[in-house]
Amino acid sequence: MRHLAQQTVGADPQTVRDARDFAMRAFDSWGGCRRGDDIRLCVSELAGNAVQHGSPDGRTYLVRLIRPPYCLHVEVHDTTHHSRVHIPPASPSAETGRGMRIIQELCDDWGMQTLTGGKAVRTCFRRPEAPTSRRSCTP
């Protein structure tokens, strides 16, 4: 069975907490799994990026979770599509530029898709019980 949960969130820094709480409620209601802490951190970084880089003028962003049979997709949709979501070169002295690196380390796959009126940054978390033959996971 495929599940979907989504919520539109106002784009100011306080809403990162709302985005995280919403995502974890949906995740828990679907039975959770041992990757909950990783998922929580990725939602925080994705939502923080939507607020900081992806939603000018305080436009809202959307948090969406989809659960196909063997994985969980966590997506954040925002309203800019010109900017490039990337992993900056590692620099020990830089004060920022670590969020996407954390996401890359914690999820199994991530990607960005341009949409009408904005973009989606997607992550995929494979479920531990996924059979080896179903390991492919395109977010």
Ligand X SMILES: Nc1ncnc2c1ncn2[C@@H]1O[C@H](COP(=O)(O)OP(=O)(O)OP(=O)(O)O)[C@@H](O)[C@H]1O
Looking at 100, 109, 127, 134, which residue binds ligand X (CB under 6 A)? 100
State the sign of the Cα–Cα–Cα–Cα dihedral 50, 52, 54, 55.
positive
Binders of Mg ion in range 91-120 (CB under 5 A): 99
Q: Which does 136 bind (CB under 5 to 8 A by kind): ligand X, Mg ion, none?
A: none
CA distances from 61 to 18, 20, 35, 88, 109 (A): 12, 13, 24, 23, 21
Max CA pair span of the chain: 46
**Residues 47-86: x/- map of binding to ligand X (CB under 6 A)?**
--xx-xxx-----------------------x-x--x-xx
Tokens of 53: 């880089």
Task: Tell me: does residue 49 bind Mg ion (CB under 5 A).
Answer: yes
Residue 96 in contact with ligand X, rule: CB under 6 A: yes
Candidates 58, 88, 111, 117: give the one binding ligand X (CB under 6 A).
Answer: 88
If the CB atoms of residues 49 and 55 are measured against Mg ion, the closer one turns out to be 49
For Mg ion, the closer of residues 4 and 94 by Cβ is 94
Concatenate the DSSP letters of all residues of 70-108 into one string: TEEEEEEEES--SSPP--PPP-TT-SS--HHHHHHHHSS
Residue 75 interacts with which of ligand X, Mg ion, none, CB < 5 to 8 Å by class: none
Helix, strand and coil in the chain, % to nearest 5 = 35, 25, 40
User: Where does this chain bind ligand X (CB under 6 A)?
Assistant: 45, 49-50, 52-54, 78, 80, 83, 85-86, 88, 96-101, 121
